[in-house]
Amino acid sequence: MKDKFYTYIQQLQETITSKLEEVDGKAIFKEDIWERPEGGGGRTRVIENGDVFEKGGVNISGVHGELPKSMQSYFGVKDADFFACGLSLVLHPKNPMVPTVHANWRYFEMYDKQGNIVDQWFGGGQDLTPYYLFDEDAKHFHSACKSACDKHRPDFYDTYKKRCDEYFWNAHRNEARGIGGLFFDYCKATDDMTMENWYDFVTEVGNSFLESYIPIVTKSKDLDYTKEQRDWQEIRRGRYVEFNLVHDKGTLFGLRTNGRIESILMSLPPHVQWRYDHQPEKGSEEARLLEVLATPKEWVKG
């Protein structure tokens, strides 16, 4: 399974980066091949200073070795080895009318000292972080997520949409990071879902990514915007940074397993502002965004 999924994310990285370069029309991805001293490595691809994407990364990795003590404590195991692979992407468009997007699809195996698999699971999801909220964009994104889920189980969309709303919650700000999408983790074999079934579901979601996001980008990438709107984008990016550094499990896992720091922090935007107690004008589009982020919304019917 690990070889099958790693082959899949290699191909998906090619598909996604090629399409993003086509949409940007100027910038191309810089590729960085790296190795992890403890075992494994990855292929980082970063795009910067484009006509559409100010900064973004589409990274894959496959790492293995002894599970660090901090993670052994987290999982409640001793003397375990692991293998983890996944594709993680974040895209920060230049135009504040185009939302930031994040996605991740991953697979994990844990072994005893004889090399036997003692646990395995899939995880992942995708979520949208707008700076100016276009309802039709939110509905399109969630509709694509629901369509991918509905091909596998009728309850998947409602379940994983709710988990996404719960996970991407900036508790110290009491607001959502964005308008959600899907989040699933620890997807293990059960009586009604084999690991092959989970593989089919996770790859279905991965394959739906470009359809969920690219139409939103092409619709708004050439819209006019003001300096004040750009300032708002950078202020809201600050909340994105706060979530990733304070709450995100993927970031913390990477740091605790001696992950490659440049790849881990690739998700951070290049230009950010923190203004003391900044409050948007009442009745403004900026204020409307905050109202929606205060209470997760149902964008499509389950």
Catalytic residue flag (residue 140) = no
Strand order across the 180-187 sheet = 30-35, 40-48, 53-66, 81-93, 100-111, 117-129, 180-187
Tell me how far the alpha carbon of residue 2 is from its chain's centroid.
20
Q: Among the options 102, 152, 271, 278, which is catalytic?
A: 102
Catalytically active residues, by annotation: 102
